[in-house]
Amino acid sequence: MVAKNVKQLGPVEILQEIEEKFEMFQILNEEGKIVNKDADPKLSDEDLTELMRRMVYTRILDQRSISLNRQGRLGFYAPTAGQEASQLASQFALKKEDFILPGYRDVPQIIWHGLPLSQAFLFSRGHFMGNQIPEGVNVLPPQIIIGAQFVQAAGVALGMQKRGKKSVAVTYTGDGGSSQGDFYEGINFAGAFKSPAIFIVQNNQFAISTPRELQTAAKTIAQKGIAAGIPSVLVDGMDPLAVYVATRDARERAVNGEGPTLIETLCYRYGPHTMAGDDPTRYRTSETDSEWEKKDPLVRFRAYLETKKLWDEEKENAVIEQAKEEIKAAIKTADGAPKQKVTDLMEFMYGDEMPFNLKEQYELYKEKESK
Amino acid sequence: MAQMTMIQAITDALRTELKNDENVLVFGEDVGNNGGVFRATEGLQKEFGEDRVFDTPLAESGIGGLAVGLSLQGFRPVPEIQFFGFVFEVMDSISGQLARMRFRSGGVYNAPVTIRSPFGGGVHTPEMHADSLEGLMAASPGLKVVIPSSPYDAKGLLISSIRDNDPVIFLEHMKLYRSFREEVPEEEYTIPLGEAAVKREGTDLSIITYGAMVQESLKAAEELEKEGFSVEVIDLRTIQPLDIKTIIASVEKTGRVVVVQEAQRQAGIAANIVAEINERAILSLEAPVLRVTAPDTIFPFSQAETVWLPNSKDIIATAKKVLTF
């Protein structure tokens, strides 16, 4: 059968039908009640407490980072408050052998994957030692070029597949990033090669000042997975359990050789885009802010854990104190990093012998540095 | 020894390295079953399997990202960009990512990637196939840029490029692919990157060049000899980093220089060479260093190639200006 005209094919209806299928996946509602019993991952008490601990710790890390930035003791910093479930519950579903390709806002994930805090601070300040990832910690430094991490993740995943590893490549971008060509190429390559990759779009509603609606006419970002022919899911990004389950399931599919998944986490950043002079009051209303504050992942997870008698004020304060102390110590360690020299930078350019031009310049700067 | 065209020498180098190192992966658009649009990868998939030599979706940026990611898993990727005019799609993966991998990770990660890509005029290709864009690559710290002009050089330089532990851009001139044959050893050998070759010795004038302009320069040198001038022709082979030693030694001997490139005057790398000579050997110069280049327009519509591309006549004219300055 061949359709007589385009209308008969129903392109408008097909789109509506597809968009209606992307319902939001949620397990824990705003009050901290399980609303989706079947999907409950039934994490152990230790795991639930550990996840909460990391979320509280990271909220404190964000507050301290903002304040250290204002004091001039940190440089580039992209606030994370509001995205704890999205960032940490997804990382919580990973294993050590999984490889994370973070964006510039995704420093918490690589910290919890093994990057020492002092190095995260050196990254912020702009010191090469911050990016010297310790051996066995499978992460890249935060990617500044939005989208580049997506095509690279397709490559890491293909590499794992070729090596026969039972691991995945996980990468993150924001809602704005889903408009990039590399976003599409990345998910499409991983789809074509059926590689073990998890692509996470943290839709925090704004790309600097540009609202999500200006990025695309698509109702969800998750549905963009259809263009690559890969499974995709829209998740409540303020719900740690839902994010955990979506990532865990995507990981399982990936290591079983079933290919990549695209996950959209619907979330919100409470702070500015970065600390480099962005003023969110220019593009956001306080009504929207407070509406999203009610959805706070910490509030609902705290309520959930309190009913299970797994969390109380005392525990929370202990985490806060620990975080503050470790942050203080990490900043001190970062302060102790030697000043960078031009000759250091030259040494990291090539693995083999320095080319002629660098060799010459090396001598020049060595001379300069000896004075 | 065997008589090989440049394309055969390239295939031979790829086969050698696929055999030598199981981490070597060859991939790109139509490089697998099809053997490449120029047959550069002919027979390689059959010999080494789809796991080692494979096709990709049609997206240069994705290919670049694939190379970055595969190198992070310990592979030695040798991707192909079908025509170098398409490099703009993958500029970030090359200059923004591959070139910087070792540096940005403070030496923890590296990217032993060799990007092969054809370029060059004289074969009436459609738009954006023949542009000489090596200047863009030469301006990116972290990259090495290699341009062979003969079958022998192509094999040795490609093996060296693949074995290099940092990213190398290996540009193959389309006009040279099958224009002549040369004796190429069947066994493996390497030619160090960053070393020029004196293709013809002379005492009156140095011509410094690379790519298809090497043949044009040799032709010009022969003509000039008939008029009594002894011309030295230096083939740079690697245009980043430059072989300053060989260049300056020649300049000090002859005292007169012409730099020849196919790229537009505002592009390529000729200006770099003039500057280096200016800084290092001005006291040896009997005349200013002049350049032979294409005009500063977009690469021509194919029918206009013959009037636009620099050739041996342009080289002779400029050489005479320098010789009679």
Q: A119-172: per-residue pLDDT in tens?
A: 999 999 999 999 999 999 999 999 999 999 999 999 999 999 999 999 999 999
Residue-averaged pLDDT of chain B:
98
What was the pLDDT predicted at B178?
97
* Residue A129 with chain B: CB contacts under 8 Å: 106
Residue of A nearest to B67 (CA): A155
Cα torsion at A254, A256, A259, A261 (round to 10°)?
Answer: -40
Burial (CB count <10 Å: 0-12, 13-18, 19+), residue A98 = buried
Q: Please tell me the predicted confidence (pLDDT) of residue A23.
A: 96
Which of A129, A159, A186 faces B106 most closely, judged by CB atoms?
A129
**pLDDT, position B177:** 97
A92-96, A274-278, B239-243: least confidently modelled range:
A274-278
Helices A240-255 and A45-70 cross at an angle (nearest 10°) of 110
Express each pLDDT in B222-255 by its tens digit.
Answer: 999 999 999 999 999 999 999 999 999 999 999 9
**Angle between helices A45-70 and A297-307 in degrees, nearest 10:** 150
Please tell me the predicted confidence (pLDDT) of residue B1: 76
When scoring A125, A145, A151, A194 by the number of chain B Cβ atoms within 10 A, the one with the most, hence best to mutate, is A151
Predicted confidence band at A2 (pLDDT cuts at 50, 70, 90)? Answer: confident
Are A151 and B72 within 8 A, CB to CB?
no
pLDDT at A1 over 80: no
Q: Could you tell me the CA-to-CA distances from A315 to A33, A56, A61, A88 in Å, in that order?
A: 21, 10, 17, 19
| H or E segment and range at residue A127 | none
Q: Determine the pLDDT at residue A5.
A: 86
Cross-chain Cβ contact B102/A350 below 8 Å:
yes
Instruction: Give the chain B residue nearest A350 (alpha carbons).
Output: B166
Contacts of B72 in chain A (CB under 8 A): 99, 140, 152, 155-156, 159
DSSP conformational letter for A141: P
CA distance to B138, B176, B187, B296, B322, per residue, from B293 (Å):
17, 18, 37, 9, 15
Read out DSSP for A8-42?
HH-HHHHHHHHHHH-PEE-SB-TTS-BS-GGG---
Is A36 exposed, middle or buried, given 0-12, 13-18 or 19+ CB atoms closer than 10 A? middle
Predicted local confidence at residue A8, as pLDDT: 85
Q: Do residue A189 and residue B56 have CB atoms under 8 angstroms apart?
A: yes
- pTM score of the predicted model: 0.97
What is the residue-averaged pLDDT of chain A? 96
Given B65, B102, B142, which is nearest A151 (Cβ)?
B65
Give residue A3's pLDDT.
83
A162 contacts B75? CB cut-off 8 A: yes
Residue A107 and residue A83 in contact, taking contact as beta carbons nearer than 8 Å: no
Residue B309 to residue B321: CA distance in whole angstroms: 20
Give the residue-averaged pLDDT of B309-322: 98
Residue A93 has pLDDT above 90, yes or no: yes
Q: Which helix (H) or strand (E) holds A99?
A: strand A99-101
**Token duo for residue B179:** 């224009």
Identify the closest residue of chain A to B165 by CA–CA distance: A351
Any catalytic annotation for residue A184? no
Which two three-digit tokens encode residue A369?
A: 């540095």
Q: How many residues does chain B have?
A: 325
pLDDT, tens only, B148-174: 999 999 999 999 999 999 999 999 999
The side-by-side arrangement of strands in the sheet containing B197-200 is B197-200, B231-235, B205-209, B257-264, B290-294
Beta strands in chain B (DSSP E): 2-4, 24-28, 53-55, 76-79, 114-119, 144-146, 168-173, 182-184, 197-200, 205-209, 231-235, 238-240, 257-264, 290-294
Q: How far apart are CA B199 and CA B218, in angstroms?
A: 8
To test the contact with chain A by mutation, choose from B61, B110, B280 the residue with the greatest count of A C-beta atoms within 10 A, namely: B61
What pLDDT sits at residue A50? 98
A253 burial level (CB within 10 Å; 0-12, 13-18, 19+): middle
Give the sign of the dihedral formed by CA B29, CA B32, CA B37, CA B39. positive
Q: In what order do the strands lie in the sheet with B114-119?
A: B114-119, B168-173, B144-146, B238-240
B230 contacts B198 by C-beta, under 8 angstroms: no
Encoded tokens for B221: 């040198």
Would you state the pLDDT for residue A352? 85
Q: Has residue A32 got a pLDDT over 90?
A: yes
Question: Are the Cβ atoms of A189 and B96 closer than 8 angstroms?
Answer: no
Q: Is A4 helix (H, G, I), strand (E, B) or coil?
A: coil
A283 is catalytic: yes
ipTM: 0.96
Q: In the block, which residue shows the tokens 């190095």?
A: A119
For position A165, what pLDDT does the model report?
98
Q: Which of A53, A269, A284, A302 is catalytic?
A: A269
Q: Which of these, B197, B145, B188, lies nearest to B166 by C-alpha position?
A: B145
DSSP string covering A273-308, please?
Answer: S-TTT--GGGT--HHHHHHHHTT-HHHHHHHHHHHT
Tokens standing for B17? 């390295």
In angstroms, the CA B41 to CA B53 distance is 9
Longest dimension (CA), chain A: 84
Q: What is the DSSP letter of A223?
A: G
Per-residue pLDDT reduced to its tens digit, B41-54: 999 999 999 999 99
Q: Running DSSP on this structure, what letter comes out for residue A113? A: T
